[in-house]
Amino acid sequence: MAVVRLAADEYSSIVQSSRVVTDRVLTGYLDEVAQKLLSAGGALPRGVSLSVTVLDKEMPEVYSLANGVLVVTSGALLALENEAQLAAVLSHEGAHLLGSHYPGIYQAFREQERKKRRGALAAGLAGVVVGAALDYTVQTRTSEVFADLDAGDISYREAMKKVTAIETGAGVLEGFSEVYQTLPPETRAGSGDPRLPLEMVADSEGLALMVRAGYDPGQAGQAWRNLRKAADRAREGSREALAMAFLPPQMRALMTGVAGPMGGIRPEALTRTISQNPPDRPGFLDSLARSREIEGMKRGAGKVGREEFARVMGNYVMGDARAAFDAGDYATARKLFQAAWDSGKRSADIAYYLGRSQVGEFAFAASEREKETAEEYLLKAVELDPRMPEPYRALGDLYGEWEMYPEAAAMYRKYLKAAPGASDRSRVQRQIEKMERKGSR
């Protein structure tokens, strides 16, 4: 299939321009979860082979290529809290692959090009997309109804509510045509990007994959909330985001690829799904997770998988972050540890390294704000694990720099008590004596 071959070329371009994470434990774990999810939905289309690639990027992104590659960024993984949330975002992309959604639109585009039916895009492509990609029938509506819808202000959330009322059954969205035609104009083929309605389908079918694979569907909405929060953090101070904010809407549309011929995209863009997280998606998934149809698919409470996910992600984060720290790349180490901390992975180890990476090797070279932040995290490390010796020594160094000599000496003593066999015991003992002399002046 042409779009699958194009997707292979797109993948080559992606890995050449991005840093690929090669942690075998992490990628093996992600492959295992993805295989479990897609096995619950049947066989992939011919020529499509499933694999997962992790890109080292702060911005959380999850998308799939038409050749079967699921792409997830480290920023997305760090935003998630458990295996069920991971399953939620991977199953969304898996639904796109199992349903041949994008190859279906690609074929529709090519058919339209061959027949040169420019004016039929709004009415014709809608039917082809749903027929070729999803195998659903779009019912004919009168021009008056279409005119009313085009003039209306129906939100994504309102459209989502209609989905929950549909008899889903095995296909999850048997009545998709009805929902499709009630979408706001910007999400319908012919009025905007024809890929957007397929996001609805992948949301619903992906949730069904989760349930059939044994995961708790109640975690899906929170997964996408976490990704949105992480994306907001990643955008803070982004020059690109600031520049886009000041562009006129028409220019933004052209730059983001949602304006132009063929419903707003080129056929070649259909090698990969859009990495988009509509604001109302979490609420829709929460509602659908409680629906009669999804409840009927459940077998027991459903797996959440906190411990295994935390173990794999903890090893990955600590490995990369510690390597950066040991190499003296404190900015990278701080970014990785901070992402882990912000996503809820709050251990004494991470707090300690967050504190140390604020000031680097020498506290005297850090700003007062960096020192204050370092103290905050080091004290948190002590709170989380009072038996861990390293935070006490770091606090001793910091308080000595602040000329808080009694406090510095006290922290050094706690360090020696927590690590009686420390290799630097003699040096720390001399530091205690030095702090005591300075404190007595």
> To which H or E segment does residue 430 belong?
helix 425-439
pLDDT per residue over 285-316, tens digit each?
888 888 888 888 888 889 999 888 988 887 88
Q: pLDDT at position 197, please?
A: 67
Strand 51-55 and strand 62-64: the pairing is: unpaired
User: What local confidence, expressed as pLDDT, does residue 88 receive?
Assistant: 97
Q: Which two tokens stand for residue 431?
A: 């530091």
Are 287 and 160 in contact, with CB atoms under 8 Å apart? yes
pLDDT at 1: 65
Query: In whole angstroms, what is the distance from residue 275 CA to residue 251 CA?
Result: 20
- In angstroms, the CA 406 to CA 396 distance is 10
**pTM (2 d.p.):** 0.68
Structural domains present in the chain: 1-304 (no CATH), 306-439 (1.25.40.10)
pLDDT of the residue at 316: 85
Please state, in angstroms and rounded to a whole number, the distance separating the CA atoms of residues 426 and 416.
Answer: 10
Show the DSSP H helices in 182-305 as ranges.
Answer: 196-212, 220-235, 239-245, 249-256, 281-289, 292-297
Instruction: Name residue, tokens 């095995």.
Output: 170
* CB-count exposure of residue 368 (10 Å: 0-12, 13-18, 19+): exposed
Question: pLDDT of 225-246, one tens digit each?
Answer: 999 998 888 877 555 544 444 4
DSSP-assigned letters across all residues of 340-370: HHHTT---HHHHHHHHHHHHTT-GGGS-HHH
Residues linked to residue 71 through DSSP beta bridges, in sequence order: 53, 63
Distances (CA, A) of 366 to 90, 253, 322, 357: 41, 43, 20, 10
Q: Map tokens 């990955």 to a residue.
A: 316
What three-state secondary structure class fits 50?
Answer: coil
What per-residue confidence (pLDDT) applies to 127? 39
103-148 pLDDT tens trace:
777 776 666 555 543 343 333 333 333 333 333 222 222 222 233 3
Report how far Cα 390 is from the mean position of its chain's Cα atoms: 33
The Cα 96–Cα 50 span in angstroms is 12
- The pLDDT value recorded for residue 153 is 44
Neighbours of 272 (CB within 10 A): 21
Q: What is the number of residues in the chain? A: 441
Burial (CB < 10 A; 0-12, 13-18, 19+), residue 94, is buried
DSSP 8-state code for residue 14: H
Reduce the DSSP state of residue 127 to 3 states and report it. Answer: helix
What is the reported pLDDT for 2? 78
Joined together, the tokens standing for residue 359 give: 């000031």
| pLDDT at residue 256, rounded to an integer | 40
Q: What is the pLDDT of residue 265?
A: 55
Tens of pLDDT, residues 47-78: 889 999 999 888 999 999 999 999 999 989 98
Distance, in Å, from the CA atom of 210 to the CA atom of 175, rounded to the nearest integer, reads 21
Compute the distance between CA of residue 229 and CA of residue 231 in angstroms, rounded to an integer.
5
Task: Give residue 215's Cα distance to chain centre.
Answer: 18
The DSSP element (H or E) to which 158 belongs, if any, is helix 156-164
Look at residue 62 and give its three-state secondary structure.
strand
Q: How is residue 264 annotated by DSSP?
A: G
Closest CA to 136 of 202, 94, 92, 180: 180
pLDDT < 70 regions, the chain: 1, 108-194, 196-197, 237-269, 343, 363
User: What are the structure tokens assigned to 19, written together?
Assistant: 């840093």
> Count of alpha carbons within 13 Å of 384, Cβ hemisphere only?
16
Q: What local confidence, expressed as pLDDT, does residue 406 receive?
A: 94
